[in-house]
Amino acid sequence: MAPVNQVFQSAPMGRRVIAPMMISVAVVFGAMIFNLGFVIRALSFHTPFMTKALGSLAPLMALVIMVPVFIFERSRTSQFRIEANVLVLGRKRFPMEGLVSVERDPDVLRHALRVYGNGGLGSIRGFFWSKRMGKFYAFLTGTDHAVVLRWPGKVVAVSPSDTAFFIYTAKSAAGLK
């Protein structure tokens, strides 16, 4: 079997990534408006303008944290690869040897609980558990294009932009028909 080397682009961000991002931004702006009203009423007229301005803009610090986290997570999951018959997802490596099945599964996260990782700010990455799947590692930008790879003892979910090509390449790398 010849070694397979291929880079795959991740699928566009899906609802499971966009919704938490929008909710987070809405909460931060709501907190900023609430804080602005509180600061204006609470501080006396003799309080310097800069103190009032800094107090009202404090919730924006959450955006200063959220935006880099979003960019970092999105950049880590924007692409992945099969390199010398090993699936490489960021720092994690999964040899394709012993792969049992590769199948598309948009319901991979249905009723799944996050054990560890990021559940939606920029990507869905980490360890999850569900009754149907057991413990699995997710490296997703959405669930619409999710592909599940199964080995004896481990399961990995990825979201390539071209699912059919990824499934074909993964099967070739594992020697499956």
Domain borders along the chain are: 1-177
At residue 104, the pLDDT reads 96
pLDDT digits (tens, 9 = 90+) for 11-63: 888 888 888 888 888 887 787 777 777 666 666 667 777 777 776 677 677 77
pLDDT at 122 over 90: no
The candidate with the shortest Cα–Cα distance to 75, out of 128, 22, 123, is: 123
Whether the per-residue pLDDT at 106 is higher than 90: the answer is yes
Chain-centre distance for alpha carbon 127 = 11
The mean pLDDT of 131-148, rounded to a whole number, is 93
Band the pLDDT of 133: cuts 50, 70, 90: very high
CA-closest candidate to residue 83, choices 91, 98, 93, 75: 93
d(CA 36, CA 54): 10
Give me 157's structure tokens: 């979910």
Q: What percent of the chain has pLDDT over 90?
A: 44
Q: What confidence score (pLDDT) does residue 154 get?
A: 94
Residue 112, pLDDT score: 93
Percent above pLDDT 70 for the chain: 90
- Tens of pLDDT, residue by residue over 58-91, are 767 777 787 888 888 878 888 899 999 999 998 8
